[in-house]
Amino acid sequence: MSARRPTSVEGGKASKPVTVSSIRNAKGREPLVCLTAYTTPVAQALDEACDLLLVGDSLGMVVYGLDSTIPVTLDMMSAHGAAVVRGARHALVVVDLPFGSYQESPGQAFQSAARILAETGCGAVKLEGGAVMAETINFLTQRGVPVLSHIGLQPQSVNALGGYAARGKQAAEAEAIVADARAVADAGAFAIVVEGVVAPLAARITETVRVPTIGIGASAECDGQILVTEDMMGATFGHVPKFVRKYADVGNVMREAAKAYAEDVRARRFPAEEHLYGVPSPKVAAV
């Protein structure tokens, strides 16, 4: 097996687990490589290539077939977070706090985050919101909970926004999003996910804050990129957002495998000799 190519936050040293500080200090170095994961085997497959694995609340849509992330619960995030941590040896695992588990107060956010850290063993939590979440981010980071921020397009606000359209097209909205970035960075977030904003705004935010920006639908000028794994693997069957590049066709690989299996079963070609448990032969039994 060939040696693994060092990722950006390792500085070329042997593979060490990625930490919150190594992510924070990665700004200005190689881009941060981030993907979502919801299960142990997917985490095992992605771990080596990635700096950060996000257990996104997008699992509600991707795994559970919900039509938004709003109904996702803390129980779901805890179960999938623990599964991903079991499959990750290298990448930092971050778990999304779901809608309704942190917006009410810093105290509520701390309760939810503490539960997620304790039950999953993940390294940090992510929460959506800019300036309005600054007090909460400060409360958590002062109490031992590392926070990844998420600004720009915030899917948990889909009911207030009326859809998933890109943000920051108007100058006033762009200014507000830059102010959000400053506020969450000042409050102690170790990095910021910037989702669905016009490209020049993503570049401006990246210049403005001292922590890394991780873009999704936001431009290559961010300090890192994240995508939903099933989107970039071609493992979903619905609409795929414009910002996704498809690196594989896993959905069709599964469809074809199911067809081949069906043909073998119907033709009694499966199972074959090598799949059968034999009874001991009389000779073996006599020894």
Ligand X SMILES: CC(C)C(=O)C(=O)O
Ligand Y SMILES: Nc1nc(=O)c2c([nH]1)NC[C@@H]1CN(c3ccc(C(=O)N[C@@H](CCC(=O)O)C(=O)O)cc3)CN21
What is the binding site for ligand X (CB under 6 A)? 36, 54, 56-58, 96, 150, 193, 195, 216, 226, 228
Question: Is residue 57 at the binding interface for Mg ion, with CB under 5 A as the rule?
Answer: yes
Q: Is 57 annotated as a binding residue?
A: yes
* Secondary structure letter of residue 197 according to DSSP: B
- 223, burial (CB in 10 Å: exposed 0-12, middle 13-18, buried 19+): buried
To ligand X, the closest distance from the beta carbon of 176 in angstroms equals 20
Q: Is 259 annotated as a binding residue?
A: no
173 is catalytic: no
Q: Is 21 annotated as a binding residue?
A: no
To Mg ion, the closest distance from the beta carbon of 128 in angstroms equals 7
Q: For residues 61 and 187, which CB has a smaller minimum distance to ligand Y in the complex?
A: 61
Question: Is residue 60 at the binding interface for Mg ion, with CB under 5 A as the rule?
Answer: no
Alpha-carbon span 198 to 176, nearest angstrom: 14
- Identify the sign of the CA torsion 14, 35, 247, 206: negative
Q: For residues 165 and 286, which CB has a smaller minimum distance to ligand Y in the complex?
A: 165
Q: For residues 150 and 167, which CB has a smaller minimum distance to ligand X in the complex?
A: 150
Q: For residues 8 and 229, which CB has a smaller minimum distance to ligand X in the complex?
A: 229
Query: Which pairs from 132-138 meet CB under 8 Å and 24+ separation?
Result: 133/184, 133/187, 134/183, 134/184, 134/186, 134/187, 135/106, 135/187, 136/102, 136/105, 136/106, 136/109, 137/184, 137/187, 137/188, 137/189, 138/106, 138/187, 138/188
To ligand Y, the closest distance from the beta carbon of 19 in angstroms equals 26
Residue that the structure tokens 């995508």 belong to? 227
State the binding partner of 193 from Mg ion, ligand X, ligand Y, none, CB within 5 to 8 A by kind. ligand X
Q: Is 126 annotated as a binding residue?
A: yes
Alpha-carbon span 80 to 256, nearest angstrom: 28
If one counts every other C-beta atom within 10 angstroms of the C-beta of residue 118, the result is: 10
Q: Is 101 annotated as a binding residue?
A: no
Q: For residues 53 and 166, which CB has a smaller minimum distance to ligand Y in the complex?
A: 166
* Interior/surface letters 13-45, b for 16+ CB within 10 angstroms, e for the rest: eeeeebebebbbebbeeebbbbbbbbbbebbeb
To ligand X, the closest distance from the beta carbon of 150 in angstroms equals 6
Query: 166 — phi, psi (to 5°)?
Result: -60, 150
List the one residue out of 131, 74, 81, 136 whose CA is nearest residue 110: 136
Footprint on this chain of ligand Y (rule: CB under 6 A): 58, 61-62, 69, 155, 163-166, 196, 228, 231, 236, 239, 241-242
Binding mask 86-105 for Mg ion (x = CB under 5 A): ----------x---------
To ligand Y, the closest distance from the beta carbon of 175 in angstroms equals 21
Question: Is residue 195 at the binding interface for Mg ion, with CB under 5 A as the rule?
Answer: no
> Which parts are annotated binding residues for 3-methyl-2-oxobutanoate?
57-58, 96, 126
> Which parts are annotated binding residues?
57-58, 96, 126, 128
Q: Which residues are catalytic?
A: 195
